[in-house]
Amino acid sequence: MSIFKKIGDAVEKAAKDVAGTAEETGKNVGKTVEKAVKDTGAAIEDAAQDTGKTLEKAGQDTGHTLEKAAQDTGKAIEKALRDIEDETARTGRHARDAVVSAGHFLENQAHSWGDVISDAEKRLREGKLVDAIWHVATDPLRHTEAHLAQALGESTWLNGVATAAASIYGGPGGAAAYAAWMTYQKTGDLSLALKAGIIAGATKQGLDLVNGMPSDTIDELTRKMLASASIGGAAIAASGGEEREVIEAFVKGAALTLAREHYRQQTDQDIAGKAPSQGGVAKLAPKLDPKLDPEVAHQFSVLTDENGHPILSADGNLQIDIRSMPRDSISHVGLATADTSAGLLSGAETSMPMELIAKLPYMNDMAYYHDQWAAVAQMSGFEVQATILPALILTVTGSDTPIIDQATKQTQDLKD
């Protein structure tokens, strides 16, 4: 019996208990948030109290909807598959938007320097030497902040990368800071900015705690899945989302745990999202790669099946078990190669473009998983390229970025 079938059988049994638990959790989170920020100033206190009450109500509302959402697991899985198909269709548009937004940023930056010089000249003619020096030093920073916020607002991908980076490297505090900054830049409303920051930080913290829960048995995995689903639903409800949006976030939260567990089973690693500390290596000839310490190279093991028999590649060669290689210290994005310094357009792991792409959030995690998947499935040719996007979607699904991003956007929409 597959893990998904077992989970489906266990969901209905756990749903009623989770509904009551989620409601009580929402109350506790609301009271905790309100108390935590009570002495930080009048404006922050008001925002935190409102958010605390909203979170409490969110827990109640989420509790009432969890049972319905959990019992509808079949439809949720069907929707997830449709989302993957839709995301594949949207990939081209997202890429275009990112390029256009980056172009707008560079164009605005160039124009702003003309404004800075023109303003400085005007102040000098007025005899305001100190003002001219001051603004020449500070205005570029002010313009850059505004242009960066504009570019991030224009591109879903760029904003997602920034959200992920803030969460990966800054933890709950980083997630909160970026959500608050972006919300203020977009709405100009301090109260909404504080609310978005608090929700993002609490969501990140909660999902990190859930990730540490045990998942050795089906019951434990089901509780873990429903816990992350509850946090996702509560975050969107606290952000002002409607029932449909809360249920969507509930599904995202459940999918997050399933994706994380599948990733862990395949790679023996947790999804982390960080950039590798070094470049790529020649996996097709690891012992010949000068980037690898000889004492490390010989430790790479051959990929085998459950019976210890080697799993050969499509062309009949032995394959490295990717799990025997370090993930976070090596760049894995690109095509495996025996060339230690591949050309720029080769697409190989040791080429500079691929090493740069590996530094983007979750890209190296994705590539590590994809390499293992491709080896076990004995993929070749087009199959390898065609499965990159599904691997990326699974990896991102296992991150907290989609839920935090949705909650922040939902809070920003309250201004409209």
Q: 170 is written with which tokens?
A: 């800054």
**Which residue in 5, 70, 60 sits closest to 29, CA to CA?**
60
Question: How many whole angstroms separate alpha carbon 176 and alpha carbon 327?
Answer: 28
CA-CA distance, 88 to 75, in Å (whole number)?
A: 20
Structure-block tokens of residue 224: 């873990």
d(CA 225, CA 96): 35
Residue whose tokens read 């404006």:
43
Distances, alpha carbon 49 to alpha carbons 20, 29, 37, 347, in Å: 23, 12, 8, 52
- In 3D space, the residue among 333, 204, 213, 332 whose CA is nearest the CA of residue 264 turns out to be 213
CA distance between the termini of the chain: 48
Q: How far apart are CA 372 and CA 385, in angstroms?
A: 14
Contact 370, 200 (CB under 8 A): no
Q: What does the angle CA 396 – CA 398 – CA 404 come to, to the nearest 5 degrees?
A: 75
Question: Angle at CA 184, nearest 5°, toward 178 and 187?
Answer: 135
pTM of the model: 0.71
Burial 166-176 (b: 16+ CB within 10 A, else e): bbbeeebebbb
Tens of each residue's pLDDT in the chain, 416 residues: 444 444 445 444 544 444 444 344 444 434 443 443 344 344 444 544 554 554 455 455 545 554 554 555 455 545 545 555 555 555 556 666 777 777 877 888 888 888 888 888 888 888 888 888 898 888 888 888 888 888 888 888 899 999 999 999 999 999 999 999 999 999 999 999 999 999 999 999 999 999 999 999 999 999 999 999 999 999 999 999 999 999 999 999 999 999 999 999 999 999 999 999 999 988 876 554 545 555 444 556 778 888 888 887 777 777 778 888 889 999 999 988 878 788 888 989 999 999 999 999 999 999 999 999 998 888 888 888 899 999 999 999 999 999 999 999 999 999 86
Type of residue at 184? Y
Would you list the domain boundaries of the chain? 3-270+399-413, 286-397
